Amino acid sequence: MQVTRELFNEVMVPNYNPAEIIPVRGLGARVWDQAGNEYIDFAGGIAVNVLGHCHPDLVAVLKEQGEKLWHLSNVLTNEPVLRLAKKLTDATFAEKVYFANSGAEANEAALKLARRFALDNYGPQKDQIISFKQGFHGRTFFTVTVGGQAAYSDGFGPKPGAIEHVDYNDLSALEAVMSERTCAVMMEPLQGEGGIISPTQSFVQGVRDLCDKHNALLIFDEVQSGVGRTGELYAYMGLGVTPDILTSAKALGGGFPIGAMLTTTAIAAHLKVGTHGSTYGGNPLACAVAEKVLDIVNTPEVLNGVKQKEQQFREGLNAINAKYNVFDEIRGQGLLLGCALNEKFQGRARDFLVASANEKLMCLVAGANVVRFAPSLILTDTDIQEGLARFERAVAAVVNA
């Protein structure tokens, strides 16, 4: 069968509008399409391919596990899921882990757990969930409603109730809506889809203090910021604030679908047998790959390397901006970076994305005004230099159009 972009329009639901190219092979930070064109990948599958494409250690462990066990129901447990859970709890504040297939599913579990914890401990009146405008927490109806972008949740009928949204980095706005009715506050410790917005230290600490004051759980959505992305294993570690529940996905599997919810023993106890579940959660293939990802990423070499590579990106992007004057600032942390467009180029982030693709560079946007980079954490200096050179040509093309 000949596979073309036109086939997508024939057979796929039109909720996506993919590019014309169809990648067929990847290695490290490089990707090749059907015509053999080579691209540099600064997108990482939206912060997923944390070790690039086809990392040999991940390929090896997938092949090895693929000849042992592919799937077991959760009537049984398995060795990879227990090894991975032990390593996650050893490396973080958490004592218990629940596995799912995606970030949305991990967030769904976190929100259900928060509601159940509040019900069991304080009664049915404690049901309010507060999150932040421009936040993103997934595409299930619960998580997309908690996410602070109404455009994603409008048009599907009545939404789940008792959910409030306030401005990110505005502690007084949060304080004004919190009460003893609040069961949880959900936040990204670095907003991704909302524009690569970093929190202030005082804001994060203030959110923690307000949660403690009102007996509310603090949920950190680290689906995008976790597993080395900021130069810490999880972003909370660099903020000095510990959540009650943390969600992880994207980079956790290095490209293999997996999600996780991490919490304490006392909180986890409220998801009793039968209260929640997932057919594929804790899948041996996924957990075997994720264990290897964690082994590689959670090392000083990789985590310190992320911070060094961030500086290379910032220096290169600032040099480009000095020539073309298109960005107001370079936002973010580690290898989750955003170029915020200045007033002259407002609304044109997609133009820079398209121009980059024309220069054989894969990047992302975060809204209409931010060009986003979320590459492999171990891409080489050569990849960074060549990718930035291609991005400079893309910027020049937009500016000179």
- Residue of 114, 101, 57 lying closest to 283 (CA atoms): 101
Q: What is the mean pLDDT of the chain?
A: 96
- Residue of 43, 154, 36 lying closest to 383 (CA atoms): 43
Q: Any binding-site annotation on 279?
A: yes
Cα 34 → chain centroid: 28
Task: Decide if pLDDT at 276 tops 90.
Answer: yes
The reported pTM is 0.96
Q: Any binding-site annotation on 115?
A: no
Cα-atom radius of gyration of the chain, to the nearest Å? 21
pLDDT of residue 401: 85
Amino acid at 90: D
**Could you tell me the pLDDT band of residue 193, with boundaries at 50, 70 and 90?**
confident
The CATH code of the domain at 5-55+300-400 is 3.90.1150.10
The domains of the chain are located at 5-55+300-400, 57-297
> Which stretches of 67-149 are DSSP H helices?
79-91, 103-122, 141-146
Q: Any binding-site annotation on 331?
A: no
Pick among 3.40.120.10, 3.40.640.10, 3.30.413.10, 3.40.50.300: CATH of 57-297: 3.40.640.10
> Residue 168 in 3-state DSSP?
coil
Q: Any binding-site annotation on 278?
A: yes
Task: Decide if pLDDT at 140 tops 90.
Answer: yes
**% of residues, the chain, pLDDT over 90:** 97
Give the C-alpha separation, 139 to 104, whole Å: 6
Q: What is the mean pLDDT of residues 195-203?
A: 94
Q: Any binding-site annotation on 224?
A: yes
Q: How many CB atoms lie within 10 A of CB 79?
A: 14
Residue located via tokens 């090392």: 299
pLDDT tens-digit map of 285-325 = 999 999 999 999 999 999 999 999 999 999 999 999 999 99
Q: Any binding-site annotation on 103?
A: yes
Give the C-alpha separation, 22 to 36, whole Å: 10
pLDDT tens-digit map of 205-258 = 999 999 999 999 999 999 999 999 999 999 999 999 999 999 999 999 999 999
